[in-house]
Amino acid sequence: MSAPRLDALDRVHGPAARPGYDPAAHGVGILHLGIGAFHRAHQAVATDDALARSGGDWRITGVSLRSREVADALGPQHGLYTLIERGADGTKARVIGAIRDVIAADPDRVLAAMSDPAIRIVTLSVTEKGYGIDRVTRAADPAHPAVAADLADPDRPSGVLGLICAALAARHAAGAAPFTVLSCDNLPENGALLRDGVLDFARRARPDLAGWIADNVAFPSSMVDRITPAATPETLAEAARQTACTDLAAIETEPFMQWVIEDHFPQGRPDWEAGGAIFVRDVAPYERMKLTMLNGSHSMLAYAGFLSGHRYVRDVMNDAALAALVRRHLQAAAQVLPPLEGIVLADYAADLEARFHNPAIAHETYQIAMDGTQKLPQRIFQPALAAMEAGQDPRAFAFATAAWMRYAQGVTDTGETYALRDPREADIRAALAGVARDAGAISAALHDLPGLFPQRLTHDPAWRDAVESALALMLSDGM
């Protein structure tokens, strides 16, 4: 007989810890767009800690904009799920009670929920490509399908910018206060970027509202960090051992967690410090450090590791040659960063190597390799530019770029093909169609993709040489 579903806390038997508060005693105050594994391992956990320590009506309505998968798993469990932390020295589990309900693929209901004055914060983890903001112009990108649809019909929005603007319009019309908008994606100065995108969308779709948004809505930036692989059957089996329940929404993550937030919440906020969040005046240096060091080396090792036949990050780290490249990348990345008070970058780098080594976490290189065109500008190209401008050796960044270019060909050294899983996959394929298997030609074709590389890199012969020579070796000798 299978174990009962995890649909009430009194069903939980076993080692997993239970919430330190009664979830039913707290109302909702946050709406989260993009309720994937990352949110459930990060912001929802800090909110759970905040509810336990300081209370408040801060439970979460989670939203999946398109897929029903998370709602189908969490809905019957009334938002309850097991968080499994896997470290080198063992496994710990706890049941999280912070999520009240989930709305999936139902924009009208999402809009109604966002318009409810009880919601004082809208948080987002929709991935880099989910925003529909052109990163060069910082305007709403009409080439993004949801942005185009929402500009054409702003009262029935389905995308991030359209929903935020329509909900703010409804609140303004009702004389209600706006919500605070908190981005939790790996984008530099994510709050400022989202503000620019929302304001541009408003100017085009609701010109009367743009000024009010500019004057009244807070868009704090935040840096988020926790390595969270996709759940596997082993995750669910561990949750069953920990809770004696069937939990179809369980997730696993590393013990490390970091959240640095700009403290600008005019409508109040949970006591996220209880979950370890740090509030600062300026998040930008922390974001830059994390994007350049963690995410930059992650992307590099994902492309080089995937093409070397390594399924998981931990396997890459057990390959001495690749581990040496990770170390070189971290050192080069640290060199382009300004000093940050209280942080020793060499220690940060050593901690990252240890986190990537974590033998208990099965993080797929193919998962990290996804969406390269959305990730590389802030992870690799900006640091490369900073290195070149400071007269430093750009080879580590050129190697990472070449590894992505090699990956962009969609075929391994042993001839297996794979999908790139990138929103610009069609552009990449078109750019490479008919191009010879030659490093110079491939590099030229990809450097010419509109809006991807900073122009100053594209036109720098030293950079182009460094990328080409790394790529030429990968093509001739294999990864």
Do the Cβ atoms of 332 and 396 come closer than 8 Å? yes
Size of residue set near ligand CS2 by CB under 6 A? 10
Interaction between residue 225 and ligand CS2 (CB under 6 A): yes
Interaction between residue 373 and ligand CS2 (CB under 6 A): no
Q: How far is the CB of 53 from ligand CS2 (least distance, A)?
A: 24
Task: Report DSSP state, residue 76.
Answer: G
134: helix, strand or coil: coil
| 28 vs 193, beta carbon nearer ligand CS2 | 193
Interaction between residue 409 and ligand CS2 (CB under 6 A): no
Sheet holding 81-87, edge to edge: 90-96, 81-87, 251-253
| 42 vs 100, beta carbon nearer ligand CS2 | 42
| 81 vs 356, beta carbon nearer ligand CS2 | 356
Per CB under 6 A, the list member of 193, 227, 408, 446 interacting with ligand CS2 is 227
| 192 vs 376, beta carbon nearer ligand CS2 | 376
Q: How far is the CB of 284 from ligand CS2 (least distance, A)?
A: 17
* Residue 418-457 contact track with ligand CS2, rule CB under 6 A, x = bound: ----------------------------------------
Alpha helices in 365-418 (DSSP H): 365-369, 372-376, 382-389, 395-407
| 47 vs 127, beta carbon nearer ligand CS2 | 127
Which one-letter amino acid corresponds to residue 197? G
Q: How far is the CB of 128 from ligand CS2 (least distance, A)?
A: 9
* Residue 288-317 contact track with ligand CS2, rule CB under 6 A, x = bound: ------xx--x-------------------
| 105 vs 370, beta carbon nearer ligand CS2 | 370
| 88 vs 177, beta carbon nearer ligand CS2 | 88
Interaction between residue 40 and ligand CS2 (CB under 6 A): no
Interaction between residue 368 and ligand CS2 (CB under 6 A): yes
C-alpha separations of 30 from 102, 335, 371 in Å: 12, 38, 28
| 120 vs 424, beta carbon nearer ligand CS2 | 424
Q: How far is the CB of 186 from ligand CS2 (least distance, A)?
A: 5
* Residue 176-205 contact track with ligand CS2, rule CB under 6 A, x = bound: ----------x-------------------
Residue 177 to residue 141: CA distance in whole angstroms: 28
Q: How far is the CB of 48 from ligand CS2 (least distance, A)?
A: 19
Per CB under 6 A, the list member of 32, 375, 406, 447 interacting with ligand CS2 is 375
Q: Encode 292-302: b = buried (16+ Cβ within 10 Å), e = exposed.
A: bbbbbbbbbbb
C-alpha separations of 352 from 182, 310, 323, 356, 460 in Å: 26, 19, 12, 6, 31
Angle at 97 between CA 95 and CA 99, to 5 degrees: 125
Q: How far is the CB of 213 from ligand CS2 (least distance, A)?
A: 29
| 260 vs 466, beta carbon nearer ligand CS2 | 260
Interaction between residue 226 and ligand CS2 (CB under 6 A): yes
Residue 305 to residue 313: CA distance in whole angstroms: 8
Residue 211 half-sphere exposure toward CB, CA atoms < 13 A: 2
Do the Cβ atoms of 65 and 32 come closer than 8 Å? no
| 77 vs 295, beta carbon nearer ligand CS2 | 295
Interaction between residue 247 and ligand CS2 (CB under 6 A): no
Residue 321 to residue 325: CA distance in whole angstroms: 7
| 199 vs 400, beta carbon nearer ligand CS2 | 400
Do the Cβ atoms of 379 and 373 come closer than 8 Å? no
Q: How far is the CB of 316 from ligand CS2 (least distance, A)?
A: 13
Which one-letter amino acid corresponds to residue 111? L
Provide CB contacts within 8 A for 42, sequence distance 6+.
Answer: 125, 184, 224, 226, 228, 257, 259
- Characterize the bridge pairing of strands 180-183 and 251-253: unpaired
* Residue 338-367 contact track with ligand CS2, rule CB under 6 A, x = bound: -----------------------------x
Sign of CA dihedral 100, 32, 83, 276: negative
Residue 108 to residue 113: CA distance in whole angstroms: 9
Residues near ligand CS2 (CB under 6 A): 186, 225-227, 294-295, 298, 367-368, 375
